[in-house]
Structure 1
């Protein structure tokens, strides 16, 4: 099931045609143009809805919103898919802590996320897919892996049903493991436990083997799954299934934060290859760098959050929030400060004033410059500087419709 996405903002048409999108390729350490057909297929990992959108989340979705805008401007149809992890341990733990039903918590946080994305003028995905509402698809994926003989079970003494056992993927059967991330084993082991893995689980054949199916525990939500027994999928399975359902193998662009490089993107890919024998899962990966606050990565688990909804409630123009994000290149880690927001508010004031009285003098050069910057590894920071320079030009007492539409269509900013 696709969750009804938020209402898309209007996307103005621009004269001419944009440039081909080139992105950083970690394996070659080069910025390389994507080789695309008429339809560009993009998958971006979605939220686990147990808390409001913070600036780290917003940075990811604005980055891949830019990618979608550049692709469309270059003449591609974009097929964009995003999941919603509406059942997972963090969601269940937060619901228990707060004394609310986990489904109600998920629903309210999804609605708030949609409100934040609407305010930031992020183009919605074509398919915004709930894990809960597509459970039979995830069961089918795991059953397919079991049938291929690439899984094993682990004794599970706390299972709600006698004899039920968790199911894992046997990575020793997968020669492509490591191809998506490019990481070595020691690097993987350093982060696996902190990122949802269970390297010390008794009975596993390898510390890195990913959980495919968690059989039911007392008090936890579970779904009927035939021979798998009642339970729910492991975290990585959902993106394997949803991407295959809507995009197929070898889709063009997989996006998310750098904290998803391993294990999530690696495991999602290796599971898909194990199921289909048809690598690659995604042809290109791009990752948003982490956003910090108070000296640490901004994260729900740490609680050091700057929430988009809080800023909006404080009266901050969402376009200024978006400008904070656009002023940083997506591959560069940075730390949020109030000074950055103050700079963005003042910048947006200058731009809106210029758009009212600067005219369209220099519009051709500006639009070409913005297109070139964004096509070159989504260099929004350079695009921002170009608009700064244009806005500092002489006022002529006339509006700037072409520049207004270009800033809207390419950067998602409109007064």
Structure 2
């Protein structure tokens, strides 16, 4: 839901409506905090929910313990993700980078201290994560509040409580668009939990998804860059530069993904030794490695196209595309291959890949057929409709304020 800020802040910054960025940030805080409170029961009752879904009781109990630890992490996202997108829309990326490095370093040190040194186990892992998540957020808030963004942060404003309906609508569209993508991999794990010898299958799948997640961080970086760049250019009324940015980022991300595709095919037999010494799990990962390689190739393009959608404000359209591609095509095919035809985890993953391929092709078609001059007009109309001046008065003019 926080990705709505990429659209609004990015386009406002391009249109030089600088003070609106701070107002959008505060509106997003209100919406996301209320959403986090609504989500609390899922975290509190994870164990009985998973058992009710037929998952292994032992795995469900551990998952429930982890979920309780995740509650403060979830609330950290309300501020962490929104401030990050607010800063990125202004190309203030270095402060985000420095604080992310601090987060990474803290997590490494605290994990070693609490797990290796003090032998706290799962509590040590999760406790270090909670601490490492919150400290950089305090740094981001200090940067914003104490002069890091003089043009865009003018203090707290009562205008944050106006036009919340429009922000909620765009936030929900953004949330649905991205959640159905993130839940797609989660459902892969959920379906694998019903397999025979589920423990080995889950171990192998978790290793593959970790590797895929590491590489996907590159594409997610391009997603953020594309969203910001496209939004800035649309707000600045430059359709040509928006198209040029899209072409460059998609091409660059695909080439990087292709290099990793070749590497993971070549090293398929030794990937799992980074994570485990179990030969059974290593063999299972080697068997899944070709699917992992193709996932990496597709994921080098798909997130970038999602970034184009976020920058342009197409979240509601892409949400429908994602639901159809993933849940009406990918998961049913995966279930048939995995259970009915006996391919098990490989069959489920093949179905997931088919859904991702369909989604990528549809987004590519939409992007290629888009009239970008028309998108500039739509962006400016949105900004003018939601514009509030420095004194908190709404503007209804059609021109650029």
TM tier, shorter chain?
under 0.3
Query: What is the TM-score of this pair, normalised by structure 1?
Result: 0.24
TM-score where L is the length of structure 2: 0.25
Normalized per residue, which structure has more strand? 1
More helix by share: 2
